[in-house]
Structure 1
């Protein structure tokens, strides 16, 4: 409750009754984490329920390509709302920002469906507002995509605002560029602290001079860690592509449900669904 006035990228820093970690140890140690795997003839997916239920690895068996960044170590930084956060994989965030419990265990179960698909169900109740969030992660036989269906429930007597967004982190190099829909012609920083034209930046953005006209969709043209968000698009996709290996990631979600798209310092492609839950609320399935 004492962190309510903390500046946190445009949102409140309040986390009560959750504790906040303010310092991390410099000593490393080996730790065993429970992992749940989904696999078919195309993909192998590793999920870590003990670390927020994140997809830690998503591997394409056809070209031996990790289409999200596979971090081989768990090295937290103080980026999350309550402190610890790790990079890599696909992080699920709700009800705001880098989820307060992104470094905490979540409940999970799994099932094989009549159509042959297998699903891992992840679930938790947010201690801050009393809402419940679940994610159902599925692989289908003969299909080379991951389906993620989010469900949000509000069992309280009051309306509760929320954000639901997936945060896939991808490996980047000079051949990498962000794939935004063609109707995205302007982007903004966290909390609209800065605005730029897109994909060609022509002014100052993140205190850097792009007045010569620079294509900021290409990672090699962005000299400082830079985030850019698109508030609206009539298309359903966002992603990235590596021309050097001829592979990338495409995130597909109904833009009526998940309208926002963004890219960050690690060429992160995200899709966000804002709203107010006045009754049990469901977001549509998304495919990566």
Structure 2
């Protein structure tokens, strides 16, 4: 489907459209042997915690950050699903919702969504624990690693990503994270942007924001259907 997308953009909206698309997910196989029946199964986790935050990761499921808890308020900062229940929504079929997923190089969610990653415990120079997860991605033939740590007395989760190209040629690549957050009754999404890339009907196009087709999309509960908005953030306003 991604290879048939039409791009209705200006020549200055350079986003490398059509660059690096795929005809198949070879050498990976589809996931076709799962069911959607629920049950209780043990899941390995890796946990980072200080006095401010507790971060729970799933190394067996693409390194997903599953929970991020503000320990001072007891508030869950992410949407954590009640189940790990795959659906046919990704390149290899199976994908599940919740937490923060880390995606390398391919449109349609990483092929490693349901795969275990190599996992190691390291330390910073000052002795703070570091969680490292890494893998070799076979389509782009790239090695990537993800390091996570909490500073002593720090209220932020540090996430450092590294992609290494050992190939002699330039390789199509992008990195994106996908974060699930709770839907609040009066919730809004505020960004320093006046336009966004969106899609529908097999096309990618640009729309003004926050008002799209008469609806203020910053009040996300007003959006009538499922749609993506990739906000065009000015370089001076990261």
State the shift of 1:22 in Å. Answer: 4.6
Deviates more, 1:155-164 or 1:6-15: 6-15
Q: Cα–Cα, structure 1 residues 138 and 103, in superposed 2: closer, same or farther, change >3 Å?
A: same
TM-score normalised to the size of structure 1?
Answer: 0.71
Name the residue aligned to 2:196.
Answer: 187
SS where residue 16 of structure 1 aligns? coil
Report Cα offsets for 1:184-214 as digits up to 9, x if no partner.
111122485243210122xxxxxxxx2xx32
Name the residue aligned to 1:147.
Answer: 158
Name the residue aligned to 1:214.
Answer: 215
SS where residue 220 of structure 1 aligns? helix
User: Are 2:63 and 2:133, in contact at CA under 8 Å, matched by a contact in 1?
Assistant: yes
State the shift of 1:69 in Å. Answer: 0.8
Q: Which runs of 5+ in 2 are unaligned?
A: 6-17
The aligned length equals 221
Q: Superposition pairs for residues 250-265 of structure 1, below 5 Å?
A: none
Name the residue aligned to 1:58.
Answer: 68
Q: 2:40 aligns with which of 22, 30, 35?
A: 30
Residue 46 of structure 2 corresponds to residue 45 of structure 1: no
TM-score normalised to the size of structure 2?
Answer: 0.85
Residue 150 of structure 2 corresponds to residue 101 of structure 1: no
Q: Which runs of 5+ in 1 are unaligned?
A: 202-209, 238-288
Name the residue aligned to 1:82.
Answer: 92
